[in-house]
Amino acid sequence: MLGSEGFDLWADGYDRAVGVSDDENSYPFAGYREVLEGIFRIITERKNASVLDIGFGTGTLTERLYRHGCSIHGQDFSSKMIETASRKMPGAHLCQGDFTEGLAEELRNQKYDFIVATYSLHHLTDERKTVFLQALQDQLNDGGMILIGDVAFQTREAMDRCRLETGDAWDDGESYFAVDELKKDFPELSFVQVSFCAGILILPRSVSGKPSGA
């Protein structure tokens, strides 16, 4: 797993590297643009939505949402990524911080219509994903939802097949989503498979206002 310095070094070439993988339909970013487009369409169905982006990187998705009129908040642990994103979105509220240790305090003090995480939460173990997602549900407005775009599979078996087919390129330092397992804690979770290795997870705030797995 890359640390903050690693992502600082990768920032300038990040979008290019992602684009090459998507164009070649190769792991890990096959379907990347379609994943982001799907999330964009969901969010922009709500006018002037408030959006929290966790691990926003260079702001590829959030810049489009920002230009569409969304109120953008975000957290990323790479200062270089934040510099790049801030130039694109001068009115956004962007914080530096390691989300694996939780949200920055100023982000916890408000609620959002959408919480977005694209290709970031695979840095959490499965157990920490559950705890983090439960906490994030408390940050949602009524009718809000968490939208996760990432390397993800319906089942652990599908993930294992992809690992075998990918071979040495597979990153064992990252923890990808097995949706059926996550649904045990979040029965309201739904999943849209976009490519052989990626998709969109949709987790609404429960009607009761409590985390789905509570």
Pick the CATH number of 4-204 from 3.30.499.10, 3.40.50.1820, 3.40.50.150, 3.40.50.1110: 3.40.50.150
pTM score, two decimals? 0.89
What's the pLDDT tens digit per position in 11-64?
455 577 788 888 999 999 999 999 999 999 999 999 999 999 999 988 889 999
CA 212 – CA 5 distance, rounded (Å): 35
The token duo for 98 is 């390691």
CA 23 – CA 187 distance, rounded (Å): 34
Q: How many CB atoms lie within 10 A of CB 98?
A: 14
Averaged pLDDT score across all residues of the chain: 90
CA 16 – CA 194 distance, rounded (Å): 20
Identify each DSSP E strand in the chain by its residue range. 50-54, 71-76, 93-96, 112-118, 140-153, 177-178, 190-195, 198-204
What whole-number percentage of the chain has pLDDT above 90? 79
Which residues lie below 8 Å from residue 153, measured CB to CB, with a gap of 6+? 159, 162, 176, 177, 178, 179, 193, 197, 199
Instruction: Say what angle helices 79-88 and 60-67 make with each other, to 10 degrees.
Output: 30
Q: Is 148 helix (H, G, I), strand (E, B) or coil?
A: strand
